[in-house]
Amino acid sequence: MGPSPIAATLLNLRTALWMKKVNARDILFALLYIPAEIYMWIRLGHFVRAWTKFLSRKRVDNWAAQAKAERGSGSAYLIPMVLVGAIIVAMVVIWMMLSPMIQSAILWAAWPVLGVITVLQTLGMFFKLLRRTHGYKV
C-alpha cells in the first residue's frame, strides 16, 4: 500500500473521530479503506448518472423510479458499473492489439504523468490532514 491509500485512510479516520456521535463501526469503516473506496465508487456512479440524465435532457418520472427502487425491482444503479466494466474490457483488448513498441511509447509518457498526479494528490491529502478544524464537529 502506497502513500495515497494511507493518507486517504488517515483522512477518513480523522473525519470519523471528529463526528459528534462516533462509534466503533465508524472507526472500523474509516480504517478498513475498502468499504470507503466502494462507497466512493458508488457515489461517483450516481454523480455520472445524474449528469448524464441532465445533459441528455431526457424527462424522467422520479416518483416512478422511487417506487420501483422501494419495491426492489430497479437495477439502474448497476448501469455505471457495467459501463465501466465494458470500457475496461475494451481498453484491455485494444492494448493487447497494440505492438510492443507503441505500448512502450505510451508507458514512457504515461508513467511520469501518473507519478506526478499521485504525488500531488498525496500532498493535497497530507495538507488536509494538517489543516486545523477550529473545533468544528461533523
Residue 74 has a pLDDT of: 63
Per residue of the chain (138 residues), give pLDDT as tens: 567 888 889 988 988 888 888 899 989 988 988 888 888 888 887 788 788 878 887 777 778 777 777 777 666 667 777 888 999 999 999 999 999 999 999 999 999 999 999 999 999 999 988 887 776 666
Return the pLDDT at 119: 93
Residue whose C-alpha cell reads 450516481 in the numeric block:
46
The DSSP code sequence of the chain is --HHHHHHHHHHHHHHHTSTT--HHHHHHHHHSHHHHHHHHHHHHHHHHHHHHHHHT----HHHHHHHHHHT---GGGHHHHHHHHHHHHHHHHHHHS-HHHHHHHHHHHHHHHHHHHHHHHHHHHHHHHS--TT---
Total-model pTM = 0.62
